[in-house]
Structure formats: structure tokens, C-alpha cells
Amino acid sequence: MTTEVPADEAPAAEAPDPELSPADEASVDEVPSHEVPAAVRWRRRLAWGAIGALLLGGGGFLYAGVEARDAPAAANRALTDSAATDAVIAEVGSALAKVLSYSTGDTAATAQAARALLDGPAATQYQQLFAQVQQRAPEQQLILSTRVVRVGVVQLEGDQAQLLVFLDQTAQRKERQATMVAAQLSVTAHRKDGHWRITELKSR
């Protein structure tokens, strides 16, 4: 069993370079890395959809449900403690919406949110890659918005949580039509000082 939050209850908050179509992005794999646009390189390296055009997989929550059933019920509070499960869903969903959204006119706010909400490998990788976005901000003229559509808690034990998250990401560039993509992430979070911080992010 997987705990889910409907789209209208999930917290709201990078998507690929809006000039690239899915077919164009597929062809990027054949281009030398130094010629690939920065936004695409970031998506590829992040591998968890921060700016990625990752298509939603229909079997994601089925997979999560199988994992949850395989875990001992006494240890996996996602099966027994709805209040604790709702708390991790709310905090992780809100964190993702903040760190995966930005305006190139004000990247400092996103960077600050990342420092507060990410930890471990997720924080290290994010800081390295977001620095590239900040460098290119003046020429990008991009506003990226990320909305959490659904969250499923796969495992909740002690101060560790494993989640499956579905996102919608909208990219708006000046004088261009907005584009939207969907992303699916596996998220690991750790509770520290009473709050959940994201420590790992992986695409699915």
C-alpha cells in the first residue's frame, strides 16, 4: 500500500530548455557534451528531473506499493502512521517545489532554499549544477515553476523516508510560449532537528 496525495492537495513550487522538443532532446545524446546546452547537461547530470523532461511512468506507484508491502509492517510507519506519513509528504513536497523552481532574475532565493532543504549528496550535486544556471541567468531569461502532483511514501522508518514523487514543470522564456513537462523522482529524506531534508534524488 502506498500513501498518496491527490494533485489538488499536493504542495505547489527546472524543465528542459523550452526550445528543445522531445525529438530534439533525443538527438542531444549524439552531440558531444561540450556542445550540449547547459540546461540539458544539468538535467542529464542531475538524473532526477530538476530541469528534466522525464515522462511519467504508469507503473510507478504499483512498484512503490510492492516495496511497501515487502517491508515489515511494524517498522514501516507508512503503513501504520498516517500523521507521520502526511508530515513527510508535506515537507518533502514543499521542498521539491522550492528547489526545482527559479527565475533567472532572482536565482539567489532558490539557492537559499536549497541550502536549507537539501543535505548530503543531493545538496552537493545541486550546488555544483545550480552554479551553472546562475552563470547563464542573464542570457536565459527563464522562469521555471515546479508543481508537485502526487507523492507516495514507500518506506518510513525512524528518521528515514523513501518517497516516489510526480511533478509538473513549466518553463517560460521571455516572448516565447511556455512549455510543460512531467518528471518522476525517487526521493530519500532524513529528519533532522524535527524537519525533513532531502538527501538523495533519482529519476525513474
pTM to 2 decimals? 0.65
Residue-level pLDDT at 162? 97
Residue 178, domain extent:
3-203
Instruction: Write the CB contacts of 59 (distance below 8 Å, at least 6 apart in sequence).
Output: none
Mean pLDDT, 10 residues at a time, over the chain (204 residues)? 48 44 44 49 45 33 46 78 96 95 88 95 91 82 91 96 96 85 94 95 86
Q: What is the domain-level CATH number for residue 105?
A: 3.10.450.50
d(CA 108, CA 137): 11
Residue-level pLDDT at 138? 78
d(CA 21, CA 23): 5
Q: What is the largest CA-CA distance in the chain?
A: 55
pLDDT tens track for 41-66:
544 444 444 433 332 233 333 334 44
Residue-level pLDDT at 122? 95
Number of domains in the chain: 1
d(CA 77, CA 113): 28
d(CA 196, CA 180): 28
